[in-house]
């Protein structure tokens, strides 16, 4: 388990919320650089967490004679592996988003093509749907599941 308090991604990257200038073009170079900095810091933090998990699991590996102790250790390892898998998937998503920045295709909804918005992207930099399309997607998922 991580011992440090998890920081927000803006604080982690050491940046303040982006302040838009009047008549500023959406997703200009300054804004793209802002999001690239956020995504890079987030990716570095996740990679450090993965490394910490691996070293922790190697340090904790022991052969307990008591089956209860062994089961508890296996459960802890299972939870850590699940967390590591989620982190690995998130790193892939971050790298995909960084590629979108490089391709100058970042910040627009994949479904309808409108601007996603600076504040939404600061809250979730890997977002690829505007809030309306994401809400519709979640409603459809609930209807199919329920």
Question: Could you read off the pLDDT of 15-70 as tens digits, one per residue?
Answer: 889 999 999 999 999 999 999 999 999 999 999 988 887 776 666 666 666 777 77
The radius of gyration of the chain's CA atoms, rounded to the nearest angstrom, is 20
Is 60 exceeded by the pLDDT of residue 107? yes
Model pLDDT, residue 53: 75
Cα 74 from Cα 76, distance rounded (Å): 5
When pLDDT is cut at 50, 70 and 90, the band that residue 12 belongs to is confident
Task: Please compute the mean of the pLDDT values over residues 59-87 and round it to a whole number.
Answer: 78
Encoded tokens for 143: 């209807």
Is 80 exceeded by the pLDDT of residue 91? yes
Model pLDDT, residue 95: 97
Task: Please compute the mean of the pLDDT values over residues 120-143 and round it to a whole number.
Answer: 95
Which range of 3-7, 62-66, 121-125 scores highest in mean pLDDT? It is: 121-125
58 vs 145, residue with greater confidence: 145
Is 50 exceeded by the pLDDT of residue 5? no
Question: Do residues 27 and 107 touch, judged by C-beta distance below 8 A?
Answer: yes
Largest Cα separation within the chain, whole Å, is 69
For the chain, the average pLDDT equals: 87
Is 60 exceeded by the pLDDT of residue 1? no
Q: Please state the pTM of the whole predicted model.
A: 0.80
Question: Do residues 139 and 128 touch, judged by C-beta distance below 8 A?
Answer: no
Measured CA distances, 20 to 38, 66, 107, 128 (Å): 17, 61, 15, 21
């Amino acid at each position: 388990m991580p011992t440090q308090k998890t920081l927000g991604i803006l604080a982690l990257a050491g940046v303040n919320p982006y302040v838009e200038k009047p008549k500023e073009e959406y997703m200009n170079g300054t804004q793209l650089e802002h999001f690239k900095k956020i995504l890079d810091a987030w990716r570095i933090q996740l990679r450090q967490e993965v490394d910490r998990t691996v070293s922790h699991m190697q340090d904790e590996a022991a052969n307990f004679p008591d089956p209860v102790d062994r089961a508890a250790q296996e459960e802890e390892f299972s939870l850590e592996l699940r967390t590591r898998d989620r982190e690995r998937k998130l790193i892939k998503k971050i790298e995909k988003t960084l590629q979108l920045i490089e391709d100058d295709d970042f910040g627009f909804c994949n479904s309808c093509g409108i601007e996603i918005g600076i504040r939404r992207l600061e809250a979730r930099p890997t977002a690829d749907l505007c809030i309306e399309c994401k809400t519709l997607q979640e409603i459809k998922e609930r209807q199919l599941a329920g």
